[in-house]
Homo-oligomer: A and B are copies of this chain.
């Protein structure tokens, strides 16, 4: 149990500890926001996150969601995800470089580790051909997750 009287997942507890050691305070609104996004397998935009977190902490303001996301992003706990229909969605971040696999129907997200060797070779050859000095890369796959394939068959 914690100060808001609700159970917190272990992921939330870890995130809150990280925020704490970065000098931020532990407050009930923050706990509510963290608890939702730390445990979501789906992309969440600020409004959706707000709607869900408000079920835990009804006095929550949308502004606090934006401010909390800002701090979580700064601590590397969440990352913003760009996709064809917008760029305001967030998902829990992972350590190290990983690529994203996104369901276009339900927004479920999964990470996969790109083939580092092939990727390196590709970047090397593009760099040679173009004269660019490459610093970063994005690789994202879009499709239908297993659940959505199943429900589409109905």
Q: Which residues of A contact B (CB under 8 A)?
A: 82-84, 86-87, 101, 103-104, 110, 112, 114-115, 118, 122-123, 126-127, 129-146, 149
Q: How often does this chain occur in the complex, in copies?
A: 2
Give A49 to B82 CA distance when docked, in angstroms: 23
Please, which residues of chain B bring their CB within 8 A of the CB of A144? Answer: 132-133, 135
Residues of B within 8 A of A137 (CB): 139-142
| CB-nearest residue of chain B to A139 | B139
Name the one of B104, B122, B132, B145 contacting A145, with C-beta atoms under 8 angstroms: B132
Is there contact, CB below 8 Å, between A138 and B139? yes
Cα distance A70–B110 in the bound complex, in angstroms: 32
